[in-house]
Amino acid sequence: MAPTKKTSGTAASTEAVKQITYLAASLKAPRITEAAARLADHARDAGWTHEDYLAAVLEREVSARNASGARLRIRAAGFSGVKTLEDFHFDAQPAIRQQVGALASGGFLTEARNVVLLGPPGTGKTHLATALGVAAANHGHRVLFATATDWVTRLTEAHRAGRLPNELARLRRYGLIIIDEVGYLPFEQDAANLFFQLVSSRYEHASLILTSNLPFSGWGGVFGDQAVAAAMIDRIVHHADVLTLKGASYRLRGRGIESLPSIRTTTDQTES
Nearest-approach distance from CB 126 to ligand ADP, in angstroms: 3
Nearest-approach distance from CB 245 to ligand ADP, in angstroms: 6
For Mg ion, the closer CB: 126 or 138: 126
Burial of 48 (0-12, 13-18, 19+ CB in 10 A): middle
| Helix locations, the chain, DSSP H | 3-26, 31-46, 50-76, 97-103, 107-110, 125-138, 148-160, 164-172, 189-202, 219-223, 226-238, 261-271
Nearest-approach distance from CB 237 to Mg ion, in angstroms: 20
For Mg ion, which stretch binds (CB under 5 A), given 17-25, 90-98, 124-132, 227-235? Answer: 124-132
Residue 33 engages Mg ion in binding (rule: CB under 5 A): no
Nearest-approach distance from CB 272 to ligand ADP, in angstroms: 5
Give the contact letters, 125-164, x = binds to Mg ion (CB under 5 A), - = no: -x--------------------------------------
Burial of 119 (0-12, 13-18, 19+ CB in 10 A): buried
Give the residue from 80, 122, 125, 81 showing the smallest Cα distance to 252.
122
Nearest-approach distance from CB 144 to ligand ADP, in angstroms: 18
For ligand ADP, the closer CB: 94 or 186: 94
User: How many binding residues for Mg ion (CB under 5 A)?
Assistant: 1
Nearest-approach distance from CB 80 to ligand ADP, in angstroms: 8
Q: Which residues contact 46 (CB under 8 A, 6 or more apart)?
A: none
Handedness of CA 209, 215, 219, 221 (dihedral sign): negative
Q: Which residues contact 25 (CB under 8 A, 6 or more apart)?
A: 33
Question: What are residue 212's phi and psi, to 5 degrees?
Answer: -155, 145
For Mg ion, the closer CB: 93 or 126: 126
Given Mg ion, ligand ADP, none, residue 124, with its beta carbon under 5 to 8 Å by kind, binds: ligand ADP
Give the residue from 57, 51, 24, 52 showing the smallest Cα distance to 39.
57
By Cβ distance, which residue is nearest to ligand ADP? 124
Q: Binding residues for ligand ADP, per CB under 6 A?
A: 83, 87-89, 92-93, 119, 121-127, 250-251, 272
The site for Mg ion (CB under 5 A) is made up of 126
